[in-house]
Amino acid sequence: MTVTVAPTSNFNACRDIRIAVFVEEQRIPMAEEFDVIDDVAQHLLATLDGTPVGTARVYEKGGVGYIGRICVLRSARGHKVGQKLVLAGLDVVRDMGLPTAQLSAQDHAIPFYERLGFVAYGDFYDDAGIPHKDMRRDL
């Protein structure tokens, strides 16, 4: 199986994956899933043997690169798609010339991001009914 991750202008594919994971699987309201950041972010699309299976978005705010809305379809989990999405996101942040990457991790995903070099900081907070914690990684 071949996993590829690349920037995309195919927002519809990214949108469909986010709806499947965040709206349908995690029950996040549609109105909370999409925002104005989608208009300015660089979107990444992961494919598994040519089929879209994961996505993330990367954007700059206040001199920090943010990687967000990282998700992988249930059927594609276990193939390191999430890891490749995060690493590709870090490459985008580096290409922006930014020294730090930050993300908002769901509580169950913190160990995953720690394995990729992110460090949690601050208190847990609620985002769409799910506990999250901010994490950052210096580049």
Residues 36-84 have pLDDT tens digits of 999 999 999 999 999 999 999 999 999 999 999 999 999 999 999 999 9
Q: Which pLDDT score is estimated for 18?
A: 98
Tell me: the pLDDT tens digits for 82-115? 999 999 999 999 999 999 999 999 999 999 999 9
Spatial separation of the C-alpha atoms in residues 91 and 29, rounded to whole Å: 30
Spatial separation of the C-alpha atoms in residues 137 and 126, rounded to whole Å: 22
Q: How many CB atoms lie within 10 A of CB 109?
A: 16
Total H helices, total E strands in the chain = 5, 7
Q: How confident is the model at residue 1 (pLDDT cuts 50, 70, 90)?
A: low
Q: Which pLDDT score is estimated for 134?
A: 98
Q: How confident is the model at residue 2 (pLDDT cuts 50, 70, 90)?
A: confident
CATH of the domain at 29: 3.40.630.30
How far is the first Cα of the chain from the last one, in angstroms, to the nearest whole number? 30
Task: Name the 3-class secondary structure at 47.
Answer: strand
- The model scores a pTM over 0.75: yes
* Number of structural domains the chain divides into: 1
Tell me: the pLDDT tens digits for 122-133? 999 999 999 999
Q: Which pLDDT score is estimated for 3?
A: 80
Domain that holds residue 115: 3-138
Over 90: is that where the pLDDT of 26 sits?
A: yes
**What one-letter code names the amino acid at 91?**
D
